[in-house]
Structure 1
Amino acid sequence: MPTTPQAYRPAATLLDLGPTLWDPVAAADFPDTRLRFRNDRAASQVGLDGLTEAEWVAHFGRFAPLAGTLPQPLALRYHGHQFRQYNPDIGDGRGFTFAQVRDAQGRLLDLGTKGSGQTPYSRFGDGRLTLKGGVREILATEMLEALNVPTSRTLSLIETGEELVRGDEPSPTRAAVMVRMSHGHIRIGTFQRLAYHQDEDGMRALVGYVLRNLYGEESDDPVQLLDRVVDRTATLAARYMAAGFVHGVLNSDNINVTGESFDYGPWRFAPTWDPAFVAAYFDHAGLYAFGRQPEAIHWDVMQLAASLRLIAESDPLIALIEQFGGRYAPRIADALLWRLGVVPRGTAPDRALVQTLERALRATGVGLDRFFFDAFGGRLPESYGEEWAALRDALGPYAPRKERSHPYWQGEPCGMGIEEVEAIWAPIAERDDWSALHAKVAAVRAMGDALA
């Protein structure tokens, strides 16, 4: 297994928790394995970019163990609130944690799958992933990474030669198995399961595991853990909003306790600053609409606090939950100023700018991709008329954090509207032409370089 020797650092910390958290499982035996996407930029950070194509497919399509890490895949156990209804009958139903590695900074990363076959938690599902779903996950993770949202990264997508029947898209459709690289796969729902079973020892062990392995802190204090999660999830909510991103399914089993976004199903990018914009066709009440995402994430973190009451006093947990809004406010200012490409000036002027910005975006209905492209650096073009006067004045004292010297600024804004996602998928479905996907990934990465 050729890797970059100085960078490949295997780990197996999940084994420390014992089978209270996971079940050993086996991957499906796929009829075919055709490599469709290989993220060497991500792989290079953990020493896996040196794999040959055959080795890559063996590890990420057939799931031969990587040296020194988990000896077999582990399906994680968890519960969760799904659209505010508690469900104790879930867990990794079409995925598992395949390996753990550390990057050059020592950060622990999980390699987890989607579409790798049935597990004890599949219920009535086939444990598979559609190829289109895998393509959509590539596009979501690449775009979010470029827009400074903490996100899992799509490491690999391999087509598996199976045909799947789905009720919400043309069937039969092609199948795939995906591998994501994520800063842990411990969810709020993981803690909810332990609270449901009144497992105090398991809860203490999990708190210590997360603080030590995912936060780098030698502690097993549940209040300290909640403090970190409140902080990270407030940041995540703010960056979703600045990116114009709508996750679609912010259930408590989809919220990672490291504050890293993952598991992309019916996601969309909002075309305009429309708080009522919904990504999931089945979200009839708009529970997870664009403008309600901070509220939804806060509600999920409240469920973590409720779970931690098993081993902690209520008052300090409640006090931390009440801080969520106060931590979110400066984070949304930072996130929007980052996307505007200006240097923050301080709490009061930054908040005033954000309020002026949101009013202008809602009143004008301008396209978000167009606006943030034009306004980067803090100077609105003359084509932005009188209705933008208040924002132009508010931006006046702000200095640009980066010049518009990257070639990206000589072209057009790079967006990820649903129409373009469908246009990227169409040639793959019709004639197995992947060129539009590869071109889009390159364009998104160029935008990320321009913004970074």
Structure 2
Amino acid sequence: MASTRYRPERAILELGGDFYDPVVAAEFPQTILRFRNDRAAAGVGLDGLSDAAWIDHFGGFALLPDNLTEPLALRYHGHQFRVYNPDIGDGRGFLFAQLRDDAGRLMDLGTKGSGQTPYSRFGDGRLTLKGAVRELLATEMLEALGLETSRTFSLIETGEALERNDEPSPTRSAVLVRLSHGHIRIGTFQRLATLDQPDNLRKLTDYCLRHFFADESGDPARLLDHVAARTARLAASYIAAGFVHGVLNSDNINVTGESFDYGPWRFTPYWDGAFTAAYFDHAGLYAFARQPEAIHWDLVQLALSLKLISTAEALTPALDTFADRFRGALRDAVFARLGVLPGELADDLALIAAIESALATETVTIDRFYFDWRSGSLRAATDRYDGEGFAEVRAGLARLAQAPGALDHSYWSDAEPCAMPIEEVEAIWAAIDREDDWAPLHAKITAARRMGAALEKSTGSGMKPA
């Protein structure tokens, strides 16, 4: 049962029926619990649930106590690869519950693969088991690296054989529950602006300011400034992690700046600016190095939506801060992985540029570089860094102080860094698909969490704000 730390909320109901549609969860032929995130559950007072109760709530969607009385499919629009689409919304998921975490933040439990909604269009509202496994791996790795990300809360196999055009079918099915700091997207604002609903736009602005930023001003320009700061940090964290989200459409950008909704993601092994994650991203719109540009473009769409209740003069300054905020956040994120303390900003940014240039030679992987240079100096004899490009990196790191606790974990004595190459992701899935062997998946989660613990040992580590 839920603990005394379980604090239910119904904040979304403040917005009213113009923002969502009540829906009914699908009934599944099976509900086999494959993963429950007790670490995340502990933060919201749900870690005391028995497995049977867990399955009842997150596979059968029995309501949580004193919470929402029905699932809600949220309404939104969005630009998808720069083409505006008014025919989207929660098409295979819904908001199931809201609650407060230990830090007092408003959190959502949202679903993926829970059945059809008014926005399913021609889809079946279901999720493949492979898609659920991939999202679990993405969130665990990104959380370990210190990113603000949704967390995979629950993964339950549902016993349906799904047909898909872009992967071998029939394939196994699942329903996933994610724990997120809100599900309000830039596309949520775009819908209201497109429909010319200024009153609802003001209501949503006030909701986001109060619940996500502890800001009672109701000022659209203040909201844009908050979102600019958070999304600049998001863009920087992707670059520092070597992560490619794959689909940075405006309906996939949370106004809290929390990364979520993982489809064709990948980690780029090398610092390759043109590396893409989605096979359908033919133009490289969301390639590794273009992600800050893409996120800023989405931020501009938020500003254009807010013009309905504000002015260009009030909104433009927040947009103009994005580049500087991104550069500062990138410095902080890269230095966090290296376990060094910041110095003079101009010198630090020059070092970041030198690191990017050296890694672009593709003589060493991103994860190997961070691992080898943890604490600011090369920790083992190797000729990987004998090239001229790394001379400037070596000199730049030499002037920086080591972060306290940078090496205070046995992880840093391992032979290899923890990484998430696509080949390993596929091998983990193959073990599940062919032999129903879940051991490699759970071993990888354990390894990622161990790396996360090692990064947290340093007071200079992590990409999250203080």
Question: In the alignment, is residue 408 of structure 1 matched against residue 406 of structure 2?
Answer: no
Deviation at 1:149, TM superposition (A): 1.2
- Alignment partners' CA distance in 1, 2:185 and 2:387: 47
Contact 2:406 2:455 in 1 (8 A): no
User: Residue 279 of structure 2 aligns to a residue in which SS?
Assistant: coil
Contact 1:273 1:365 in 2 (8 A): no
Deviation at 1:124, TM superposition (A): 0.2
Partner of 2:6: 8
Correspondence list, 1:26-425, <5 A: 26-380=24-378, 381-383=380-382, 384-387=385-388, 388-401=390-403, 402-411=405-414, 412-425=416-429
Deviation at 1:364, TM superposition (A): 4.3
- Alignment partners' CA distance in 2, 1:190 and 1:220: 17
User: Residue 195 of structure 1 aligns to a residue in which SS?
Assistant: helix
Contact 1:110 1:183 in 2 (8 A): yes
Deviation at 1:314, TM superposition (A): 1.1
User: Residue 338 of structure 1 aligns to a residue in which SS?
Assistant: helix
- The equivalent position to 1:444 in structure 2, one of 428, 444, 448, is 448
- Alignment partners' CA distance in 2, 1:363 and 1:419: 22
- Alignment partners' CA distance in 2, 1:38 and 1:186: 25
- Alignment partners' CA distance in 2, 1:307 and 1:85: 16
Amino acid at match of 2:440: A
Contact 1:95 1:116 in 2 (8 A): yes
Deviation at 1:335, TM superposition (A): 0.8
Deviation at 1:217, TM superposition (A): 1.4
- Alignment partners' CA distance in 2, 1:299 and 1:239: 17
- Residue by residue, what CA displacement relative to the aligned partner does 1:225-274 show, whole Å, maximum 9, x if unpaired? 00000000000000000000000000000000000000000000000000
User: Residue 64 of structure 1 aligns to a residue in which SS?
Assistant: coil
User: Residue 161 of structure 2 aligns to a residue in which SS?
Assistant: strand
User: Residue 361 of structure 2 aligns to a residue in which SS?
Assistant: helix
Deviation at 1:371, TM superposition (A): 1.0
- Alignment partners' CA distance in 2, 1:315 and 1:405: 49
- Alignment partners' CA distance in 2, 1:386 and 1:85: 44
Amino acid at match of 2:367: D
Q: Which piece of structure 1 moves more, 253-262 or 384-393?
A: 384-393
Deviation at 1:150, TM superposition (A): 0.8
The unaligned stretches of length 5 or more in structure 2 are 457-466
- Alignment partners' CA distance in 1, 2:328 and 2:344: 10
Contact 2:95 2:109 in 1 (8 A): yes
User: Residue 161 of structure 1 aligns to a residue in which SS?
Assistant: coil
Q: 1:433 to 1:423 in 2, by over 3 A?
A: same
Deviation at 1:321, TM superposition (A): 1.1
- Alignment partners' CA distance in 2, 1:254 and 1:103: 23
Deviation at 1:386, TM superposition (A): 4.0
Contact 2:244 2:267 in 1 (8 A): yes
Contact 1:12 1:70 in 2 (8 A): yes
- Alignment partners' CA distance in 1, 2:302 and 2:349: 29
Amino acid at match of 1:409: W
Amino acid at match of 2:435: R
- Alignment partners' CA distance in 2, 1:53 and 1:303: 43
Percent of paired sites with the same residue:
64
Deviation at 1:220, TM superposition (A): 1.0
- Alignment partners' CA distance in 2, 1:147 and 1:266: 19
User: Residue 278 of structure 1 aligns to a residue in which SS?
Assistant: coil
Contact 2:351 2:392 in 1 (8 A): no
Contact 2:110 2:179 in 1 (8 A): yes
Contact 2:270 2:362 in 1 (8 A): no
- Alignment partners' CA distance in 2, 1:365 and 1:182: 37
- The alignment yields a C-alpha RMSD, in angstroms, of 0.9
Partner of 2:464: none
- Residue by residue, what CA displacement relative to the aligned partner does 1:59-89 show, whole Å, maximum 9, x if unpaired? 0001001001111100000000000000000
User: Residue 261 of structure 1 aligns to a residue in which SS?
Assistant: coil
Divergent runs of 4+, >3 A? none
Amino acid at match of 2:453: D
Contact 2:243 2:267 in 1 (8 A): yes
Question: In the alignment, is residue 426 of structure 1 matched against residue 463 of structure 2?
Answer: no
Deviation at 1:137, TM superposition (A): 0.4
Deviation at 1:334, TM superposition (A): 0.8
Deviation at 1:363, TM superposition (A): 2.4
TM-score, L = length of structure 2 = 0.95
- Alignment partners' CA distance in 1, 2:259 and 2:395: 35
- Alignment partners' CA distance in 2, 1:310 and 1:325: 25
- Alignment partners' CA distance in 2, 1:151 and 1:232: 12
Partner of 2:462: none
Q: Which piece of structure 1 moves more, 33-42 or 391-400?
A: 391-400
- Residue by residue, what CA displacement relative to the aligned partner does 1:81-117 show, whole Å, maximum 9, x if unpaired? 0000000000000000000010122100000000000
Amino acid at match of 1:410: S
- Residue by residue, what CA displacement relative to the aligned partner does 1:354-409 show, whole Å, maximum 9, x if unpaired? 11111111124411111111111111243131432221111111121133231211
Q: Which piece of structure 1 moves more, 379-388 or 104-113?
A: 379-388
User: Residue 75 of structure 1 aligns to a residue in which SS?
Assistant: strand
- Alignment partners' CA distance in 2, 1:364 and 1:444: 24
Amino acid at match of 2:104: G
User: Residue 159 of structure 2 aligns to a residue in which SS?
Assistant: strand
Contact 1:235 1:328 in 2 (8 A): yes
The unaligned stretches of length 5 or more in structure 1 are none
Aligned residues: 450
Amino acid at match of 2:443: A
